[in-house]
């Protein structure tokens, strides 16, 4: 089995010209939704031309041409969309079933760059903060926060389990901060019982908001004893142990409205380009791998964002 670091090494090959097909292929190209609003003759000459998105088949061809020499390398293309920087296309792709990465393709040239595009400028996180106003998950901490921390989490995710006590401690150490928990269960192919756990947890918040945090902590603590086939029984057992009505909780978890709320949170995360868990936003700043960051460094980051609240 190949390691993550080697997968990242494979991705560096993307710096080589892999998508000459974007210039030469006769395959039909699809205009982006934004490009569908065609420029009119009355628009300013400086209006950038619409970006033509390469087809999935074209991206597949480029990937095969670069990585086809090794049958052990696999990939899944999740999305093809206009990038935040005009003229580039953002391709979200997972290599060897690892966390998805961004491939920024230049359709007019035979080049692509793999990596993350970062916010930049005097107020770089304002767009994310604006979107995060829609966060509606359970909260803890300040009622009128100076800054907000929003976490997108998967209850079957071991990295989320590691992050939970760290985030709780940040809320304790910074009473001017509020933490919001958003459900983001990963696909069943990766985490088979994550969606069911998210539905139970959503209902726990509906039933007793003050018990929600205790309930999800109990799920994290018992990840190793939960399986897809027996998830209902175990989740009800944990509910009873934390003071919830397990029968009512199970009935609520089976309701279509509950699945709809979880899917709404999932789509909300996707609108913020969340593609791995946990993904945490601190005053709009995206922080990944929070469980692996030294705590004193995290405290410095939180204080820095408090000092720059709203900026």
Question: Closest by alpha carbon to 201, among 185, 190, 188?
Answer: 185
Residue 258, domain CATH: 3.40.30.10
Q: Which of 89, 114, 139 is the last residue of a domain?
A: 114
Q: Which residues of the chain have pLDDT under 70?
A: 1-51
Judge if 43 and 150 occupy the same domain.
no
Whether 274 maps to a domain, the answer reads yes
Residue pair 53/86 in contact (Cβ under 8 Å)? The answer is no
Judge if 36 and 174 occupy the same domain.
no
Whether 119 maps to a domain, the answer reads no
Judge if 228 and 250 occupy the same domain.
yes
Judge if 29 and 154 occupy the same domain.
no
Judge if 154 and 302 occupy the same domain.
yes
Domain residues for the domain of 12 are 4-114
Q: What's the rounded Cα separation, in Å, for the pair 122 and 221?
A: 41
Judge if 302 and 155 occupy the same domain.
yes
Whether 23 maps to a domain, the answer reads yes
Whether 121 maps to a domain, the answer reads no
The pLDDT, as a whole number, for residue 48 is: 61
Q: Which of 94, 114, 134 is the last residue of a domain?
A: 114
Judge if 289 and 156 occupy the same domain.
yes
The pLDDT, as a whole number, for residue 39 is: 42
Judge if 165 and 209 occupy the same domain.
yes
Judge if 16 and 60 occupy the same domain.
yes
Q: How many domains does the chain have?
A: 2
Whether 77 maps to a domain, the answer reads yes
Judge if 301 and 272 occupy the same domain.
yes
The pLDDT, as a whole number, for residue 158 is: 97
Q: What's the pTM value of the predicted model, to 2 decimals?
A: 0.77
Q: Which residues lie below 8 Å from residue 242, measured CB to CB, with a gap of 6+?
A: 204, 211, 214, 215, 218
The pLDDT, as a whole number, for residue 32 is: 42
Residue pair 114/9 in contact (Cβ under 8 Å)? The answer is no
Other C-beta atoms lying within 10 Å of the C-beta of residue 172: 11
């Amino acid at each position: 089995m190949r390691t993550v670091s080697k997968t990242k090494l494979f991705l560096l090959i993307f710096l080589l010209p892999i998508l000459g097909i974007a210039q030469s292929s006769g395959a039909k190209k699809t205009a982006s939704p934004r490009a569908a609003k065609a420029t009119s003759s009355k628009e300013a000459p400086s209006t950038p031309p619409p970006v033509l998105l390469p087809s999935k088949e074209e991206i597949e061809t480029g990937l095969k041409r670069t990585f086809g020499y090794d049958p052990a390398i696999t990939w899944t293309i999740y999305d093809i969309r206009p990038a935040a920087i005009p003229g580039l296309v953002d391709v979200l792709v997972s290599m060897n079933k690892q966390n998805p990465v961004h491939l920024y393709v230049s359709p007019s040239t035979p080049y692509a760059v793999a990596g993350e595009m970062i916010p930049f400028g005097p107020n770089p996180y304002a767009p994310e903060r604006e979107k995060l106003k829609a966060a509606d998950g359970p909260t803890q901490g300040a009622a009128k926060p100076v800054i907000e921390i929003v976490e997108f989490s998967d209850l079957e995710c071991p990295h989320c389990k590691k992050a939970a006590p760290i985030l709780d401690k940040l809320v304790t150490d910074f009473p001017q901060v509020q933490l919001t928990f958003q459900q983001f269960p990963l696909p069943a192919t990766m985490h088979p019982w994550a969606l069911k756990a998210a539905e139970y947890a959503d209902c726990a918040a509906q039933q007793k908001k003050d018990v929600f945090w205790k309930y999800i902590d109990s799920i994290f603590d018992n990840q190793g004893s939960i399986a897809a086939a027996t998830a209902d029984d175990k989740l009800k057992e944990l509910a009873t142990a934390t003071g919830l009505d397990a029968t009512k909780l199970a009935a609520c978890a089976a309701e279509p409205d509950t699945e709809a709320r979880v899917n709404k949170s999932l789509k909300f995360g996707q609108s913020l380009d969340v593609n791995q868990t946990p993904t945490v936003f601190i005053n709009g700043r995206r922080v990944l791998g929070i469980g692996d960051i030294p705590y004193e460094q995290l405290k410095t980051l939180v204080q820095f964002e408090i000092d720059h609240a709203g900026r």
